[in-house]
């Protein structure tokens, strides 16, 4: 069974970056092969492709300095078990400034029946353009792989030999990444799992075709390679708090930063990368008509705090701050993995008593683990309410460390404490003399229960 893919090819004439070149020509190549009768998202693929392409064409209506055309393949000769017409490709609507309705009418009445000659359609399409004195774009919509010749990569090489550059856009719908490796020679990839996500990609590709300004955000590691990802990026108008764009940074299936096409080159930007801590890059300039690189140094490693052994709870918070800074950078949970910019951090684990880890160094791509013992349960009981404080005892001397106060309004309760020796100093709340002061010692073991009567 063929799987649905959509391929966008941008054929660029030599004077692509010329500011004087205003005319853009878009050739749509439409798959009307027999497999388009198959189902996708509960409808036939031909119906959905008509809808998506029809909307795209309608959005283009009225665009200045634009001409469009339509080539169709697989619509003239039925494919049979013993025959497929690999020359079944035809320019059905020639380039024109006002042929939107003609193209929509044709795709709405064409019936799928034949094979899938992608390579021959691309080769023929190179001659569909009247000249190279315009920005020439091909958008190919198909639901399968080449059925007649080698994959169109070979045709791409021939087009380059004719001094026509090829920068393609591939959108895979419901296909795995291994399948996309077949398009390695093509270039830019988009993966859309639903009709709605494909519509968004379609708009982005067309905007790219018309504006010809793209960008990629390189989140660089310690070796200045763009390997960091999966964090949101904000682009502000430079010098202001006017947020213009929000992106969740993504690496495509080739492991490269994804290309952004919806971006205005007419202004400078301040970029904020929402890592921990955040990274800011000021006054970034984009160049119109080019592919722009927006770099930020974001080397990161990972931190995880774990409880080793038996415990009464794993509901423990971990406070992280940058070395030498009092402000809390983040609070994460036990067993949570969190990425931080390479550097030195102070860790406060919010157990009773607190556990402090100073000068924790996080390196590039390192997994830093901090292990703590499991807690035990203190169950204290009394016939009256008490004013009481708990102290942790030092094993090496007679010193002690305050841990917490007990609630003076309740006579009994439970506390989760780290393993160790403790004492509690208390008296009844309503007592009027210090003579009623009492002290009791107790021991907490990991995962254990300790009961004391006050």
Partnered with residue 320 across adjacent β-strands are 330, 347
Is there a contact between 418 and 354 (Cβ–Cβ < 8 Å)? no
Q: Mean pLDDT of successive 10-residue segments in the chain (454 residues)?
A: 50 40 80 87 86 88 89 93 92 93 96 88 84 78 73 63 49 46 52 70 72 87 97 96 93 83 85 98 90 96 96 95 95 97 97 96 97 97 96 90 96 96 96 93 96 94
Query: Which pLDDT score, from 0 to 100, does residue 185 have?
Result: 55
Query: Which pLDDT score, from 0 to 100, does residue 232 have?
Result: 96
Helical (H) or strand (E) element with 304: strand 300-308
Query: Which pLDDT score, from 0 to 100, does residue 194 have?
Result: 72
Is there a contact between 369 and 304 (Cβ–Cβ < 8 Å)? yes
Q: Are residues 334 and 449 in the same domain?
A: no
Q: What is the pTM of this model?
A: 0.67
Query: Which pLDDT score, from 0 to 100, does residue 1 have?
Result: 45
Query: Which pLDDT score, from 0 to 100, does residue 160 have?
Result: 60
Query: Which pLDDT score, from 0 to 100, does residue 176 have?
Result: 45
Domain count, the chain: 4
Q: Are residues 364 and 394 in the same domain?
A: no
Q: Are residues 290 and 310 in the same domain?
A: no
Range of the domain at 313: 300-373
Q: Are residues 398 and 342 in the same domain?
A: no
Partnered with residue 17 across adjacent β-strands are none
- Cβ count near 298 (within 10 Å): 26
Q: Are residues 9 and 153 in the same domain?
A: yes
Q: Are residues 224 and 239 in the same domain?
A: yes
Please say which residue of 373, 389, 405 terminates a domain. 373
Measuring CA to CA, how many Å separate 244 from each of 250, 273, 342? Answer: 19, 14, 28
Q: Are residues 49 and 148 in the same domain?
A: yes
Is there a contact between 34 and 111 (Cβ–Cβ < 8 Å)? no
Measuring CA to CA, how many Å separate 134 from each of 61, 160, 451? Answer: 19, 16, 85
Q: Are residues 39 and 142 in the same domain?
A: yes
CA 294, CA 382: separation in Å to the nearest integer? 65
Query: Which pLDDT score, from 0 to 100, does residue 87 have?
Result: 93
């Amino acid at each position: 069974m063929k799987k649905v893919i959509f391929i966008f090819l941008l054929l660029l004439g030599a004077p692509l970056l010329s500011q004087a070149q205003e005319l853009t020509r878009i050739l749509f190549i439409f798959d009307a092969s027999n497999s388009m009768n198959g189902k996708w998202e509960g409808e036939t693929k031909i119906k959905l492709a008509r809808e998506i392409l029809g909307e795209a064409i309608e959005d283009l209506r009225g665009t200045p300095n634009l001409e469009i055309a339509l080539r169709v393949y697989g619509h003239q000769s039925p494919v049979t078990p013993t025959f497929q017409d690999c020359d079944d490709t035809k320019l059905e609507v020639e380039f024109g400034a006002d042929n939107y309705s003609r193209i929509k009418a044709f795709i709405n009445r064409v019936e799928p029946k034949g094979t899938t000659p992608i390579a021959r359609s691309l080769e023929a399409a190179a001659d569909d353009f009247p000249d190279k004195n315009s920005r020439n774009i091909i958008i190919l919509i198909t639901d399968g792989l080449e059925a007649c010749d080698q994959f169109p990569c070979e045709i791409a090489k021939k087009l380059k030999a004719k001094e026509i550059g090829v920068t393609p856009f591939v959108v895979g719908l419901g296909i795995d990444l291994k399948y996309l490796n077949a398009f390695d020679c093509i270039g830019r990839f988009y993966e859309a799992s639903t009709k709605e996500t494909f519509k968004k990609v379609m708009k982005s590709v067309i905007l790219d075709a018309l504006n010809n300004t793209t960008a990629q955000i390189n989140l660089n590691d310690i070796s200045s390679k763009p390997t960091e990802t999966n964090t949101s990026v904000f682009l502000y108008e430079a010098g202001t708090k006017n947020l213009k764009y929000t992106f969740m940074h993504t690496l495509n299936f080739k492991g490269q930063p994804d290309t952004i096409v919806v971006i205005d080159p007419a202004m400078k930007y301040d970029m904020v990368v929402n890592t921990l801590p955040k990274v800011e890059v000021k006054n970034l300039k984009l160049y119109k008509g080019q592919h722009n690189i927006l770099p930020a140094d974001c080397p990161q490693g990972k931190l995880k705090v774990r409880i080793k052994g038996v415990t009464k709870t794993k509901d423990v918070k971990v406070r992280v701050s940058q070395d030498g800074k009092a402000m809390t950078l983040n609070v994460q949970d036990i067993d949570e993995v969190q990425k931080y910019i390479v550097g030195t951090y102070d860790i406060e684990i919010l157990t009773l008593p607190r556990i402090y880890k100073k000068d924790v160094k996080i390196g590039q791509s390192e997994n830093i683990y901090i292990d703590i013992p499991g807690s035990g349960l203190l169950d204290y009981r009394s016939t009256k309410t008490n004013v009481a404080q708990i102290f942790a005892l030092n094993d090496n001397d007679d010193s002690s460390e305050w841990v917490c106060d007990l609630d003076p309004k309740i006579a009994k309760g439970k506390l989760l404490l780290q393993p160790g020796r403790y004492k509690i100093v208390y008296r009844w709340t309503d007592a009027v003399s210090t003579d009623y002061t009492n002290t009791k010692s107790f021991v907490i073991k990991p995962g254990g229960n300790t009961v004391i009567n006050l």
